[in-house]
Chains A and B, each alone.
Chain A
């Protein structure tokens, strides 16, 4: 039982990190960035590449953050900025991000192939310790701590810093934000850097925990992230965190009455019900665009 709770906390933390980046771009720019799973995968493989060059795991996570962040900014310049300039509908941005995602995944496959990879032996902490009879491994515990730290840091950044204020102004009304003297282009670049960087860290950490990164690893997270965002409230940061843990605990609990191959049904059933009953989600504040 305690074992399963620990598992739920772990997977919920990864869901949350993944969904935070997703939801950040959505809340600021109203874009559903379907290349986010590819950035997640890129994070896992950037860490792999760094560690194959002898970089320690902790530093490799940082490398993944920076590389994926930079990739996110480039993604915006290539796939989203031209559309923004001519006020294209959000659907166009979504399709364009699918294109980038195809390219990114294939580039990773050209380098590493489609199969499961492994991180260099001995590069990840393998120690196990026990607390009150519960066996915990160091790696997962560190990952949970790091993930929670990042969630708090992002919340602080958005709530209490100058950049956060700019982002919130931008989310409210891009035109007004520009009139108020906010450097909109810089704020957008920062949004993409943070979003993609968080996605990259999530990928690296999940890659570490499973020790089997592969080129399609982001896919299942994409669908789960929709669920997380809708349940918590589209575009809400605390909502994404709450949604992530609700989903992970719900999934683990559902295993007691659902066969394991139906585990995914829980996420989508939950998503569907929330959309119909309370489309703005549990913590969503702004009114959903509804008839």
Chain B
């Protein structure tokens, strides 16, 4: 038991980041499941992180209220943004959301109250591990339920063929926007939790590199179901800690894994979990039913 406690203490930060990253991965999963590539979620996390941290530090808001305000702020920003950028598709959409993310990063650098380049330091560490994992559980459950609901089917239809979906009477723009705003809300919640978990935040934590990292979690994990993004976040957050002794070669391992997964597991790591089921179904010739 002592050994377990020690392990837990030593890796507490890593464990917390696994949960936070899993939430961020799920936030981008929503739009990816709809077939839309957006890279704004790091910025939404940043908006909420700064918003909620400033509320607890400067305005004395209670922690849960500050978290909620931060997440709602991110969602409120995402609504007009989504309404404009969803005129675009494919790389254009990705680059537009990316540009938005950079504008947010530069804006944070420009506003004095955020501490600019030095970052915001001395955020009260209110986030407990159970906050993170309870949130993750709720978010994962909501996403999983949404996936098999009417909304989820509409998202899948849009992903497979937008025109066909529209001709079936699915309001395509509205459903895309819903995925985007919900994603921003989740990213915002994770951002607020992260800010109060980490003592300090810096604008660079929410830039291009972070946006790409979140995308990697989700895509390498796999888009078909909600376990994929969680698995991806787990792997790519735990791996650097596990490979600590090999620090110099860490990026090389990560890079190789990234390429191997994309090349050999097109549907992501989560397909590893599915393999056994499809194999069994194949023997009874029921694959199409599944």
A-side residues, CB < 8 A to B, are: 26, 32, 34, 78-79, 82-83, 86, 88, 90-92, 95-96, 98-103, 105-107, 110, 219, 222-223, 226-227, 230, 234, 259, 261-262, 264-265, 267-269, 271-272, 275-276, 279, 288-291
B212 A98 Cβ-Cβ under 8 A: yes
B99 A275 Cβ-Cβ under 8 A: yes
A271 and B95 in contact (CB under 8 A), knowing A102-B251, A291-B86?
A: yes
The answer to the question of B37 belonging to the interface, with a C-beta cut-off of 8 Å to chain A, is yes
Within the complex, the shortest CB–CB distance from A277 to chain B, in Å, comes to 11
B88 A288 Cβ-Cβ under 8 A: yes
A275 and B252 in contact (CB under 8 A), knowing A99-B259, A100-B259, A264-B102?
A: no
Question: What 4 pairs across the A-B complex have the smallest Cβ distances?
Answer: A99-B258, A102-B255, A103-B255, A106-B251
A96 to B257, CA, bound (A): 10
- Which chain B residue has the least Cβ–Cβ distance from A222? B208
A289 to B89, CA, bound (A): 6
The answer to the question of B186 belonging to the interface, with a C-beta cut-off of 8 Å to chain A, is no
Known A-B contacts: A106-B248, A291-B86. Give 14 more (CB < 8 A). A34-B212, A86-B266, A91-B37, A95-B215, A95-B258, A106-B249, A219-B208, A230-B92, A269-B99, A275-B88, A279-B88, A291-B88, A291-B172, A291-B173
Within the complex, the shortest CB–CB distance from B40 to chain A, in Å, comes to 12
Partner among A34, A223, A259 whose Cβ is within 8 Å of the Cβ of B102? A223
In the bound complex, residues from chain B placing their C-beta under 8 Å from that of A92 are: 219, 262, 266
A87 to B39, CA, bound (A): 23
In the bound complex, residues from chain A placing their C-beta under 8 Å from that of B117 are: 261
In the bound complex, residues from chain B placing their C-beta under 8 Å from that of A291 are: 86-89, 162, 172-173
A262 to B107, CA, bound (A): 8
Partner among B94, B96, B110, B172 whose Cβ is within 8 Å of the Cβ of A272? B96
Q: What is the interface size of chain B, counting residues whose CB is below 8 A from a CB of the partner? A: 47
A275 B216 Cβ-Cβ under 8 A: no
B266 A96 Cβ-Cβ under 8 A: no
B263 A90 Cβ-Cβ under 8 A: no
A95 B100 Cβ-Cβ under 8 A: no
Mark out the residues of chain B between 132 and 173 whose CB falls within 8 Å of any chain A CB in the assembled complex.
Answer: 162, 172-173
Partner among B99, B173, B250 whose Cβ is within 8 Å of the Cβ of A268? B99
In the bound complex, residues from chain A placing their C-beta under 8 Å from that of B259 are: 78-79, 96, 99-100
A-B contact pairs, 15 of them (CB 8 A): A79-B263, A100-B255, A100-B259, A102-B252, A106-B249, A106-B251, A223-B102, A227-B99, A265-B110, A269-B99, A271-B96, A271-B99, A272-B103, A291-B86, A291-B173
A262 and B92 in contact (CB under 8 A), knowing A88-B266, A290-B87?
A: no
In the bound complex, residues from chain A placing their C-beta under 8 Å from that of B238 are: none
A95 B95 Cβ-Cβ under 8 A: no
Mark out the residues of chain B between 234 and 290 whose CB falls within 8 Å of any chain A CB in the assembled complex.
Answer: 248-252, 254-259, 262-263, 266
Within the complex, the shortest CB–CB distance from B190 to chain A, in Å, comes to 21
In the bound complex, residues from chain B placing their C-beta under 8 Å from that of A222 are: 208
The answer to the question of B84 belonging to the interface, with a C-beta cut-off of 8 Å to chain A, is yes
A13 to B254, CA, bound (A): 34
A96 B84 Cβ-Cβ under 8 A: no
Within the complex, the shortest CB–CB distance from B211 to chain A, in Å, comes to 11
